[in-house]
């Protein structure tokens, strides 16, 4: 067994510390900065909502991203009919706190949706997302009907020249992307860039026309204003849906930042891989859509607990 495979298998057995002690490779990279001016925040050891609060302090607070009267789209992963402990979807407690934070910052409306893979109403309900987001004051909308999507052009893309995008994204003033950190059978990891497939209608086109290139291409149309990777529970194998809780490690981690490529690069290192090994991250970096060169960024590491 290769060392990398051993580490991932170990994490799947609950030995998360064997995979990413403290902050993994992030310990060795990054530049200094003042509080509120960091490019990335990496937090370990707390509850999901508390780690989010610590990350936002490092980035300057939610008021840096959301101002009074703005409509905010919060896009978690709600793709699978699975309970929170399976880590197939974003942690609902984290989404609850993010929605509240947006409203506290003055947002006029916060919308939560995903184009799910399993039956949408069961995904929303059994993931805990609908109750948690609605309880925080969010508007919950489905993504299961093509009529919700409008055609857009991507002239700078290489493969994905056009696609249909959910109207809620097109109408939002602020876009906050909140994926879960997990394994994926096709792309090795599923993170912030991969999570954007949940705002388009025809995901089949991606899979039939160079998946990694299409994932990167979408950034030529839209880059989220803020990306928050939920690593509270990490699916280490059998992704993206997972099989059981035996696939999950209690990592208790969170990565946040504006640059989606940098956020994915940092989260990949906490997963135990190198950013250049993930095709869509490398392609997006080469296209100038963000950077995977973490040593050129200011990264705040926060250990809780």
3-state DSSP assignment of residue 151: strand
Q: How far is CA 159 from the centre of its chain?
A: 23
Query: CA geometry: angle at 142 spanning 136 and 148, to 5°?
Result: 130
Residue 22 confidence class, pLDDT cut points 50, 70, 90 = low
Q: Looking at the predicted structure, is the pLDDT value of residue 4 above 50?
A: no
Residue 8 confidence class, pLDDT cut points 50, 70, 90 = very low
Q: Looking at the predicted structure, is the pLDDT value of residue 54 above 90?
A: yes
Q: Looking at the predicted structure, is the pLDDT value of residue 11 above 50?
A: no
pLDDT tens across 210-252, in order?
999 999 999 999 999 999 999 999 999 999 999 999 999 999 9
In 3D space, the residue among 140, 136, 139 whose CA is nearest the CA of residue 125 turns out to be 140
> CA 105 to CA 13: how far, in whole Å?
40
pLDDT tens across 59-72, in order?
999 999 999 999 99
Contact by Cβ (8 Å): 125, 180: no
Residue 270 confidence class, pLDDT cut points 50, 70, 90 = confident
Mean pLDDT across 35-56: 96
Q: Looking at the predicted structure, is the pLDDT value of residue 16 above 50?
A: no
- The pLDDT value recorded for residue 14 is 36
pLDDT tens across 118-167, in order?
999 999 999 999 999 999 999 999 999 999 999 999 999 999 999 999 99
Longest dimension (CA), the chain: 54
- The pLDDT value recorded for residue 286 is 98
Of 9-18, 99-108, 122-131, the one with minimum mean pLDDT is 9-18
The second-level CATH assignment, the architecture, of 3-303 is 3-Layer(aba) Sandwich (3.40)
Residue 24 confidence class, pLDDT cut points 50, 70, 90 = low
Residue with tokens 């025809």: 202
Q: Looking at the predicted structure, is the pLDDT value of residue 115 above 80?
A: yes
Is the pTM above the cut of 0.95? no
> CA 77 to CA 180: how far, in whole Å?
7
Pairing assessment for the beta strands 109-112 and 139-140 based on DSSP bridges = parallel
In 3D space, the residue among 144, 164, 16, 136 whose CA is nearest the CA of residue 78 turns out to be 144
Contact by Cβ (8 Å): 180, 129: no
**Taking the domains of the chain in order of start, what are their residue ranges?**
3-303
> CA 23 to CA 273: how far, in whole Å?
12
- The pLDDT value recorded for residue 32 is 76
pLDDT greater at residue 157 or residue 270: 157
Percent of the chain scored above 70 by pLDDT? 91
Instruction: Give me the sign of the Cα torsion angle 135, 137, 139, 142.
Output: negative
């Amino acid at each position: 067994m290769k060392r990398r495979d051993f580490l991932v298998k170990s994490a799947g057995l609950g030995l998360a510390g064997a995979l990413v002690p403290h902050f993994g490779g992030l310990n060795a990279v990054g530049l200094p900065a003042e509080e509120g001016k960091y490019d990335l925040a990496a937090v370990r050891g707390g509850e999901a909502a508390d780690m989010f609060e610590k990350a936002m302090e490092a980035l300057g607070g939610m008021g840096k991203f959301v101002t009074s009267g703005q409509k905010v789209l919060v896009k978690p992963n709600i793709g699978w009919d699975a309970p929170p402990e399976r880590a197939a979807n974003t942690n609902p407690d984290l989404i609850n706190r993010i929605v509240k934070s947006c409203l506290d910052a003055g947002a006029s409306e916060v919308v939560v949706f995903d184009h799910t893979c399993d039956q949408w109403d069961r995904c929303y309900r059994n993931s805990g997302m609908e109750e948690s987001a609605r309880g925080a004051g969010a508007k919950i909308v489905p993504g299961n009907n093509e009529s919700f999507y409008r055609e857009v052009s991507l002239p700078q893309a290489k493969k994905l020249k056009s696609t249909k995008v959910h109207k809620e994204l097109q109408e939002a003033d602020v876009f906050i992307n909140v994926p879960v950190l997990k394994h994926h059978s096709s792309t090795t990891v599923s993170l912030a860039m991969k999570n954007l497939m949940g705002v388009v209608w025809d995901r089949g086109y991606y899979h039939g026309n160079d998946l990694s290139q299409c994932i990167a291409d979408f950034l030529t149309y839209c880059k989220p204003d803020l990306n928050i990777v939920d690593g509270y529970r990490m699916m280490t194998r059998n992704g993206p849906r997972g099989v059981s809780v035996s696939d999950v490690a209690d990592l208790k981690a969170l990565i946040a930042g504006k640059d989606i490529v940098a956020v994915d690069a940092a989260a990949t290192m906490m997963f135990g891989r190198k950013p250049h090994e993930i095709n869509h991250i490398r392609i997006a970096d080469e296209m100038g859509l963000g950077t995977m060169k973490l040593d050129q960024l200011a990264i705040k590491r926060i250990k809780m607990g």
